[in-house]
Amino acid sequence: MQAFRIHADDNVATLLGDVVPGPVQIGGEGDLHSIAVLEEIQLGHKVALQDIAAGTPIRKFGTTIGEATRAIRAGEWVHLHNCKSRYDARSETLDLHSGATTDMSYE
């Protein structure tokens, strides 16, 4: 098992180790047991288990954890570049890789 789907309603799974493009085994809840991952994704990050339309909920733990900001293909990395918080307004200003904010002046 290389990725874990917490709830059968989830449209993402969490990676249990770093993965490269190719088939990845999925454990946990639901009937999907494998997904073709399209890019490198790191431990703890999420992969889309199905095509997700822009503006629709990202679901993990059986609950909505955010909203797709653009269309996401099955097998894509789901993170700051394609998913935003429904609460935290700064969520769309973050650097994709470091998570650092970009809306604060250090001058």
Partner 1 sequence: MSSAFEKSWTGYLRADGRKGIRNLVLVIYTVECAQHVAHAIARDEENVQVIGFPGCYDNQYAIRLVMALARHPNVGAVLSVGLGCEYVQPARIAEVVRASGRPAEGFFIQELGGTRAAIAHGKEIVRRLGAEIDATVPRVPMGFADLTIGCECGGSDGTSGLAGNPTVGRFYDKLVDRGGRAIFEEIVEMIGLRDVLSTRAADATTRADVEAAYDKAEAYCRAVRQFSVSPGNFAGGLTTIEEKSMGAFAKSGSRPIQGVIKVGQAPAHAGLWLMDSVPDPHFMSFGYTNPNDTEGIMDLASGGSQIVLFVTGRGSVIGSPIAPLVKITGNSHTFAHMQEDMDFDAGRVLSGEMSLDAAAESLADLVFRVAAGAPSKPEALGHHEYFVMYKYQDPPRRACRL
| Nearest CB to partner 1, comparing residues 23 and 61 | 61
* Residue 16 CB neighbours (<10 A): 15
| Nearest CB to partner 1, comparing residues 34 and 64 | 64
Minimum gap (Å) between residue 27 Cβ and partner 1: 9
Beta strands in 1-107 (DSSP E): 3-5, 12-15, 22-28, 34-37, 46-48, 57-60, 63-68, 77-78, 83-84
Chain residues in the site for partner 1 (CB under 8 A): 1, 4, 6, 14-16, 42-46, 58, 60-61, 63-66, 78-80, 83-91, 94-95, 97-101
Minimum gap (Å) between residue 23 Cβ and partner 1: 20
Kindly report the length of the chain. 107
| Nearest CB to partner 1, comparing residues 36 and 96 | 96
Strand-pair partners of 5: 28
